[in-house]
Amino acid sequence: MPTRLTTSYIPSVHGFRFANDFRFEFGAINFWGRCNGMAWTSLDYFNAGRAAPNISEVDFGNRPRSGPAAAATDGVVQLFCLQDGPWGDRPAGRVLRGSTFSKWNYCAGGAGRHAMAVSRWPSGRTHLLLVGLDDKVYHCDFNGTLAEQTTACDGRLPGFSLIEGVTGDAPALTAPFEGRLEAYSVGKDDRALYFRYYESGSWRPWASLGRPDSITLNSGAAAVGWWGFMSGFARGSDGAIWQRAWQDGGWRPWRSLGGVFTSGPAACRPWDGRMHVFGRGTDGAIWYQTWDHGSWDRWTPLSRCPAELTTDAPAAVATSTYVHVYAKATDNTFWRLRWEGGSWQTWEHVDHAISADSRRLTDAILERNLATTIRPLIAATAPFGIGLLFLGALRNYVTWRTPSDDSNFEWSSGDELRKLIRTLRAGRPLPLGLIAYEGFGHEVVAYGLESDVDLPASVDSFALPAGRPWRIKVYDPNHPGCDNNVITLDPNSTDRRGDGRLVRIHSSTGEQWRGCFVRDDYSSAAPPV
């Protein structure tokens, strides 16, 4: 009969509601993730007969690495920035509905530099521009609220596609009407303004709009547009904000809006025929100027600007009833100023306060991680690695334990699989270590096993049949709320990595592994919350 081993552990009940996006420092070393601590603490709740607490807002320790980008339609504001991550600065987003912001989460695949640009069609499709690590411009679109997207159970996030162009600063994007996008970028080498647009399902080539006489553009771009009108903005080498607009069927000459600014501009359109431009002045205040049906007024400061605002460019969004300005502060938080009801309100933080229970839980997860994995490994491997002999299963994270991938697979599908079968037969979930091709690896909770192999009552001396895949059901801390994640040990796999190495251990979320092993050193502790 086929093998079906299971326990009463349920990932969406005993696992956590937040993903393993933690950053923390251990001495001079930066670590990303607390998968070991999350797996063990999750098992603590299971063994105590309790569900994991319903906590989703936590402090990941990830810092914004860019200024903000924002878009608004139908009462929904999407706020984006780049946050530091284990594979570069990654797009993160949050959503404002009514008076409440959602938590930050990584919302699109890829890594980049500089602030992003975002715009949204009335139908609800969100578009995002990202400057990649190669300084080229990439585009991502999503039919819905992109900032709310989280890593799915299959491990995928919306991705970016190259639209060419090389820039040294943040791009700009505007959606003047449904089906059209207009993008602006300052060239990395010539510091001129470039423009391209999307219509009828395709992007047109970049075209240079040049730069003002005797002026180079030294900031990212901002943009506004509506039917029959387009306008791009950037800060010049003279400190002023400069504009180049399309009006009455052609591009008009460059125009200086004056001022002396320490940031690039932001721009928004409350309605057709009216726009606002913002920038950070040398006095630390954010100043704005309004264009209304053909004429600019004077620069005016936004009063009571917090002293800790950085020189990153602000972001601005507007509808017919409100204007929002967002700015990054030196403590890596974001502030907001609203114009509503005919006047500017006061500046306010948009970051959530982290609850005491949340901090207790994540502190306990960190301590579990340090006590059961990080500290023992560091102690055992310095200076001569003698302590590795006494680490038990933990020493398997040192990836040179078995030099070949064939040996790793035989070990994983032999002795370690037997340990797993015995434990699951007893109704106990347990931590499962995964050895990565890069770095130490990962840790999950194994709570079930499926195969078409007919197992005897005892597997102590049983030779597991060759050529049969084994599917281990797991809670993966990287994928909260997913009850269907599986690690497959497949001797028949023909998948190969880019270096040609044969891969026989796969995760349903897309990762590949050299080996897996049972953390039989787990012992339960009292749940922290």
DSSP 27-96: TTEEEE--HHHHHHHHHHHHHTT-PPP--------PPB-S--EEEEETTEEEEEEEE--BTB-EEEEEEE
Q: What is the DSSP letter of 262?
A: S
Q: What CATH code would you report for 69-349?
A: 2.120.10.70
Q: If DSSP codes are grouped into helix, strand and coil, which group holds residue 113?
A: strand
Sequence ranges of the domains in the chain: 3-57+355-518, 69-349
User: CA 100 to CA 95: how far, in whole Å?
Assistant: 8
Q: What type of residue sits at position 293?
A: H
Q: What is the DSSP letter of 438?
A: S
* Burial class (CB within 10 angstroms; exposed 0-12, middle 13-18, buried 19+) of 306: middle
DSSP 349-373: E-SPPPPHHHHHHHHHHHHHHIIII
Q: What is the pTM of this model?
A: 0.90
pLDDT of 498 reads 84
pLDDT of 293 reads 81
Residuewise pLDDT in 10s, the chain (529 residues): 688 999 999 999 999 999 999 987 766 667 789 999 999 999 999 999 999 999 999 999 888 999 999 999 877 999 999 998 877 899 999 999 887 888 899 999 999 999 999 999 999 999 999 999 999 999 999 999 999 998 888 888 999 999 988 888 999 999 999 999 999 999 999 999 999 999 999 999 999 999 999 999 999 999 999 999 999 999 999 999 999 999 999 999 999 999 999 999 999 999 999 999 999 999 989 999 999 988 999 999 997 788 888 888 999 999 989 999 999 998 888 999 999 888 999 999 888 889 999 999 999 999 999 999 988 888 877 766 666 666 788 878 875 556 688 888 988 988 899 999 999 999 999 999 999 887 678 999 999 999 988 887 778 776 666 678 999 999 999 999 999 999 999 999 999 988 888 999 999 999 999 999 999 999 999 999 9
Whether the Cβ atoms of residue 422 and residue 459 lie closer than 8 Å to each other: yes
Phi, psi of 395 (to 5 degrees): -65, -15
User: CA 179 to CA 181: how far, in whole Å?
Assistant: 7
Strands (E), 133-179: 136-143, 161-166, 172-174
Q: If DSSP codes are grouped into helix, strand and coil, which group holds residue 513?
A: strand
Find all residues with CB under 8 Å of 194, minimum gap 6, and list them.
Answer: 165, 167, 184, 185, 186, 187, 206, 207, 208, 209
Q: What type of residue sits at position 15?
A: G
pLDDT of 81 reads 97
Per-residue tokens: 162: 């190259």
User: CA 447 to CA 429: how far, in whole Å?
Assistant: 4
**Which residues lie across from 274 on neighbouring strands?**
271, 292
Per-residue tokens: 482: 């997913």
Which of 181, 160, 166, 164 is CA-nearest to residue 71?
A: 181
Per-residue tokens: 198: 């999307």
User: CA 168 to CA 188: how far, in whole Å?
Assistant: 4
Per-residue tokens: 300: 């005016």
